[in-house]
Structure 1
Amino acid sequence: MIRSVPLIFNDPAYHDPADVEHLCLPYTVAPCANSQRRFAGRLYAVPRVALCEYEFRAVFDWIEISIETRREHAGVNLQRRLMKLNRDFGAFRTCFVESPTRGKAHSGRGHVIKMQDPAPGGLPGLLRAFLREDCAPGCTLDKIPVTGVELSLDVYPAPRFCEGDYAVRRMLMTELLRKHVAVAEVFREDRRHPRFVYKVYKTGSNTTTQRLVDPGSTASYCRTTARELGLRHFDIASCDSAHHHQPVLDSTLYFGKKGERLYYRLMDKITDNRKGDMADDLPCHRTRSRAEFTFIDETPGDGLGPASVGISSINDLALDGLTSFNTLLGFELPTFRRDGSDPEAPDRNAWEIFAKTGVAGLAQREDVLDVMEGDRDALRARARQRVQSSGKRLRFSDLNMRATKALRRLEERWQRDWR
């Protein structure tokens, strides 16, 4: 069975009107062949997109380190010092110097340095010169803690496509990444909830934020039912496709809360060097689909970020590999109960939820249904504990493999050029 998910847009001018008929993401729906009991009788859906026609690249957007200087320095003076050194080494595009708690306009011996677009060929030389001249004697690269990184997976259609075909394939990939990105259940809670942000069409100045799951005007009903079952009202709302909202393609999709340990963003990247409302348009064949995540110490030095996966220093990051990051960005395929009126088709409500909010929305619905179909007395005794994963998704092996290979190429480049 073939099903399609139409792409939707905030600004109709975002795409060529002639492309409308091609701006649907097609899927093959078939019986799930997995032998595990939880998948018995279920259907699964896989996108009909030739991943071999795309190039996957992983890049560091920035790396953040924590250092202590020999003497007190104003942050602005230290930033100038680093930029002067950078003219000789070409270690990054720019850098920012903040206090040990990421505060602005500070002075002291402790500093957090964020380096944008770091280059492995120049970074070790710059850091060694900086350590030698400005930091305590004996401080070496393997003693510089990494307190945060931002890493992006960029997906480019093959350059052989003409501009029109390239743009269509890029937009389909952007939708595919959003539909299949897998995040932990904790990203359904509080201010971590998935949401998309976009400019208000026609005004172009104000931004609007929309949650993927939003009870809206039925919040009272959802809250009443949630109280009866010991769940949250968002859990109840997630079971009905009417409360799910499909992100417009010309928006940024967020998972997580800024400033916390993990924070995800997915976008159709067609601009760069954004400053406020201004940005540079990218040439067609440099536009791409992007999935990026920020992985930080919530307070520099607390060890919740890179150190928690074994990356304690800048040397570890450059030389010991990035395999630990494979668990931070992954993709899954949805599975469905069969529809009551047509056993060859996926459950209608479940498919509508997936078409709007992807694996993330469908996973929440399936997890809640598993709980609701359990023992009601035990359910009420949960006292609104977090709904756990029912594990009814499949690994998107082909996409995960390509993302892993992109990480491996980044790792090899850093190991080769770090000197």
Structure 2
Amino acid sequence: MKDSLRVRAPTDETHCKQVQIATSRTHDADALAAEDLRVDYRLCPTGSPQRVLRDRLRAEPDIDLKLYKCAAVFDWLDIAVLCSDLVSAKAVHRAIKRRGPKIWISGPERKKHYHGDVIVARLQDPTRAKVSELCQHLSEAVAEQGAAVISTPQLFGMELAIDFYVRHARELSDLELIGRRARMSDLLRKLFAMPGVFRDPELLGTCQDWPRFCDGRPGKGHLFQERIGEGTRSMNDCERLLRAAGTPFFHQRVPLNSTLYFGAKSRPIRYRLQDKISDNRKSEEDYDPLPLKERRSRIEVSLVNKDWEEEGLLGALDLRDVADLHGFKPDTLRKAFFNFSLPTFGVTEANTPDLKEWSIFERTGVTGLDLYHRSRNEQERAKTLHRRGSRAPTPRVLEEKGRLMAYSQLNDMVRRAMSKTVEAYLGEEPLALRLAA
């Protein structure tokens, strides 16, 4: 029986295959011809001596990254302070509002009508000066309620977005501009590797965190449309996810006009990937279209702490106090949350990629392909362990990267953009945060 786990040495011949980009609703990319609405991939041997990559084909997008400008931006920061007594989030909000800045005040659970000793302030489009000013306003607003801030300001959440703009936009026709942006948007979705934290049932491996997408129609579609039946009810959510991903038919193609999500809104970590052509979207009909040259490909991650006593994901990165941002190495955040990977494929007799694996990659990218590999690996391990008297070696558990390879050029591009953002935000001196006496 031929399948994607069969080992066959590929030749040095290079192949090319295409991934077509699809839409499900009206979109500016609809004006493009089919041959312009696709991403080409070059396939060649991995050349790796590692067992999991040996004798496999690697696919790399045929795209010039120099045609794009990568920019990183903090969309918002959550700043938290501990108070000496119970205070009202609503009262703090009113007091700060009188001072000018537009701030959203809540408690650790991000609920509006909070009354407690931990106040969380969300600052949109943060700058160094705005953060310092906010900390001063927080201290004064808390003091108006007869309490005092008794902690250094803590970094309690952030949203970091990575945007890809088409370079030389003025020199391109509208269709050329749309085509380049559409290809980058699809590339980001296909090559973003879902972090392993979403496969851990003790952390974020629950069905509410499963990859899903929304294209403006009611509800959100899961990337893997599982079927509940006999044998699945006793499984945990991670086991169900692997089971669904192990069936190619269950993999769903994500339209260009949709937003792809990893993680639920209420969770400590959440991703959104989108072909951003509008802003301030309230519904499918109510939104502000962006000028063509400002439209971009975007991936963003939101990190949220919810317990003052726990360090959370930010604390694990040594980002506890707001001042910890100074001297922070952006590549630490890049490696933790923005990993782009190249897929690898088994080889057929004709020295082409395994058709089943390729069809999965076309629909759900490296995330779907990686989960498929892990599902098949678990199946093979289970068969070997239950086959009494068998001398066949038990397949090894796939490690974090699985059968994927790092897309170094794109990862380096993101790292450089993040470095510029952090440097511009922080300046040369440590961030000084003054609290009212």
Taking structure 1 as the reference length, what is the TM-score of the superposition?
0.85
**Is residue 2:319 matched to residue 1:335?**
no
**Is residue 2:368 matched to residue 1:372?**
no
Alignment partner, residue 76 of structure 2: 62
Point out where structure 1 has 5 or more consecutive residues left out of the alignment.
88-93, 201-206
Matches within 5 A, 1:20-169: 20-69=34-83, 73-86=87-100, 94-131=102-139, 134=142, 143-160=152-169, 161-169=172-180
What secondary structure is seen at the aligned counterpart in 1 of 2:63? coil
What secondary structure is seen at the aligned counterpart in 1 of 2:158? strand
**Is residue 2:299 matched to residue 1:291?**
yes
Alignment partner, residue 359 of structure 1: 366
**Is residue 2:192 matched to residue 1:181?**
yes
**Aligned counterparts of 1:225 and 1:347: Cα–Cα separation in 2:** 28
Alignment partner, residue 249 of structure 2: 242
**Is residue 2:323 matched to residue 1:315?**
yes
**Aligned counterparts of 2:118 and 2:232: Cα–Cα separation in 1:** 52
Matches within 5 A, 1:195-210: 195-200=212-217, 207-210=218-221
**Is residue 2:200 matched to residue 1:193?**
no
**Aligned counterparts of 1:116 and 1:346: Cα–Cα separation in 2:** 46
**Aligned counterparts of 2:81 and 2:39: Cα–Cα separation in 1:** 47
Instruction: Give 1:338 deviation, angstroms.
Output: 0.6
| Preserved contact between residue 265 and residue 293 of structure 1 (Cα < 8 Å) | yes
Query: In the alignment, residue 106 of structure 1 is paired with which amino acid?
Result: Y
**Aligned counterparts of 2:149 and 2:95: Cα–Cα separation in 1:** 20
- 1:146 to 1:276, Cα distance in 2 relative to 1, 3 A: farther
Q: Deviations over 1:262-320 (max 9, x none)?
A: 21111111111234553211111111111111112143442113111100111112453
Query: In the alignment, residue 194 of structure 1 is paired with which amino acid?
Result: P
Alignment partner, residue 204 of structure 1: none
**Aligned counterparts of 2:263 and 2:255: Cα–Cα separation in 1:** 19
Structure 1 or 2: more strand by fraction: 1
Q: Deviations over 1:190-209 (max 9, x none)?
A: 22111111222xxxxxx231
Deviates more, 1:183-192 or 1:392-401: 183-192
Query: In the alignment, residue 213 of structure 1 is paired with which amino acid?
Result: F
- 1:97 to 1:233, Cα distance in 2 relative to 1, 3 A: closer
**Aligned counterparts of 1:299 and 1:14: Cα–Cα separation in 2:** 43
Instruction: Give 1:324 deviation, angstroms.
Output: 2.6
What secondary structure is seen at the aligned counterpart in 1 of 2:132? helix
Query: In the alignment, residue 417 of structure 2 is paired with which amino acid?
Result: A
Query: In the alignment, residue 294 of structure 2 is paired with which amino acid?
Result: R
**Aligned counterparts of 1:79 and 1:225: Cα–Cα separation in 2:** 48
What secondary structure is seen at the aligned counterpart in 1 of 2:52? helix
- 1:324 to 1:78, Cα distance in 2 relative to 1, 3 A: same
- 1:390 to 1:79, Cα distance in 2 relative to 1, 3 A: closer
**Aligned counterparts of 1:182 and 1:41: Cα–Cα separation in 2:** 22
| Preserved contact between residue 148 and residue 306 of structure 1 (Cα < 8 Å) | yes
Alignment partner, residue 391 of structure 2: none
Structure 1 or 2: more helix by fraction: 1
Instruction: Give 1:182 deviation, angstroms.
Output: 1.3
What secondary structure is seen at the aligned counterpart in 2 of 1:374? helix
**Aligned counterparts of 1:13 and 1:414: Cα–Cα separation in 2:** 35
- 1:138 to 1:301, Cα distance in 2 relative to 1, 3 A: closer
| Preserved contact between residue 253 and residue 266 of structure 1 (Cα < 8 Å) | yes
**Aligned counterparts of 2:179 and 2:401: Cα–Cα separation in 1:** 35
Instruction: Give 1:64 deviation, angstroms.
Output: 0.7
Taking structure 2 as the reference length, what is the TM-score of the superposition?
0.82
